[in-house]
Amino acid sequence: MARFKNNKKKGRVIVKPIAKKNQANVDHVTGDKIPKSFVFSRMKLPGSVKQLQMDLRKLMLPYTALNLKEKKRNTLRDFLNVSGPMGVTHFLMLSKTASSLSLRVARTPQGPTLTFKIHQYSLASDIAQSQLRPRCPQDLFQSPPLIVLSGFGSQELHLKLATIMFQNIFPAIDINTVKLSTCQRLVLLNYNKDTKLIDFRHYSIRLQPVGVSRRIRKFVQNHKVPDLRNLQDVSDFVTKAGYGSESEGDEEAATVTLSSDLGRANRGSTKSAVKLQEIGPRMTMQLVKVEEGLCSGGIIFSEYENVDGKKEKEKKKQNEDGEAEEEEDSEDEGEEGSAEEDGEDMDEDFED
């Protein structure tokens, strides 16, 4: 089916009856639909939770509505009606009550809803304040983030559902054609079996050439002319053995060989180290409820289950199995993203 591709190029005027930015609905490489999301809340939020909502919106860029305005009289129905024509696939809803703050992740139009209770959170601005050198390059939010899920396992069904849901929120990447310069952000979800808490972190990826002395690296990166007053010869500058930073030991494990050039400092087929710096919100959450419909329907899993809930759970489990399988089949090349490493409890998300 022929589709008109509209790149989200800044500055280019798109002549259309509705003058708004149009994003590609279908990823031309994989042929999948690009998932888009709305982050909103249906109630008035206190100040810092509003900030958290904004941080989450930035996290979901570029496939989300950054300036979404919600009014008090908007109901979930309204959002559903809008999401259809715009191709929005996921809703992330924040809500705050006196006792708890919760985040609901739901798939439109009738998908399951996961309810997470947020025990603790930190805003992006808090984290930037606690760092010595906060880093935020300009094009950081121009491409969607990668996602790394760890510790979820594949035994429990609700965890599996959570895995699948999170993998589908972000668009898939094709490892054959992806450009490493577009992989700039990373979202980590780490599940802790003992406490049943999920750690949510958001990092920015930076590549640093390895094996180069510190001075030369800084010189190339910062474009600053070095001070050669005390040196007799330029060779002193180049070959002087400076002491390495203490994080060089970690770098050994994090070394990759790039396939292409990435900016001035990292050239293709040389070794570079991957360095992560935290940006964005930090949350500690717990999965408390899984519902079948969009904030409605039967409860598939509930953390605080009662006696009746158990029976329902068993009944719905079969339905949920069917659902999970359906979702899996709909992905091309099979849903292998949740494959496990032997000996390593790590799930990764890259699909063809």
CA dist 52 and 285 (Å) reads 14
Least distance (Å) from another protein to the CB of residue 250? 8
The residues near 126 (Cβ < 8 Å, ≥ 6 apart) are none
- Identify which of residues 312 and 348 has a Cβ nearer to another protein in the complex: 348
Q: Token digits for 123?
A: 């805003």
Radius of gyration, alpha carbons of the chain: 23
Per the CB < 8 A criterion, the answer to whether 257 and 269 are in contact is: yes
Binding flag, residue 54, another protein (CB under 8 A): no
The distance of closest approach from Cβ of residue 126 to another protein in the complex, given in angstroms and rounded to an integer, is 5
The distance of closest approach from Cβ of residue 274 to another protein in the complex, given in angstroms and rounded to an integer, is 5
Of the two residues 321 and 333, which places its CB atom closer to another protein in the complex? 333
Rounded to a whole number of angstroms, the minimum distance from the CB of residue 280 to another protein is 13
- Applying CB under 8 A, among 21, 28, 310, 315 the residue interacting with another protein is 28
Look up residue 177 and give its amino acid.
T
CA 53 to chain centre: 15
- With binding defined as CB under 8 A, does residue 119 bind another protein? yes
Specify the stretch interacting with another protein by CB under 8 A; choose among 61-69, 71-79, 183-191, 218-226. Answer: 183-191
Q: Which is nearer to another protein, 252 or 305 (CB)?
A: 252
Per-residue interface string for the shown chain with another protein, residues 233-262, x marking contact by CB under 8 A: -----------------x--xxxxxxxx--
Question: Going residue by residue from 273 to 292, which x/- string records binding to another protein, judged by CB under 8 A?
Answer: -x-x-x---x----------
Six-digit token pair at 180? 């490493």
The region, left, alpha or beta by phi > 0 then psi within -120 to 50, assigned to residue 279 is beta
Q: Is 6 within 8 Å of 22 (Cβ atoms)?
A: yes
To the nearest whole angstrom, how small is the minimum distance from the Cβ of residue 343 to another protein? 9
Q: Please, which residue, 195 or 296, has the CB nearer to another protein?
A: 195
Task: Kindly list the residues in this chain that would bind another protein in the complex (CB under 8 A).
Answer: 2-5, 26, 28-29, 31, 46-49, 96, 98, 100-101, 118-123, 126-127, 129-132, 146, 148, 150, 175-178, 180, 183, 186, 188, 190, 199, 201, 203, 205, 250, 253-260, 274, 276, 278, 282, 333, 336, 339, 341-342, 346, 348, 350, 352
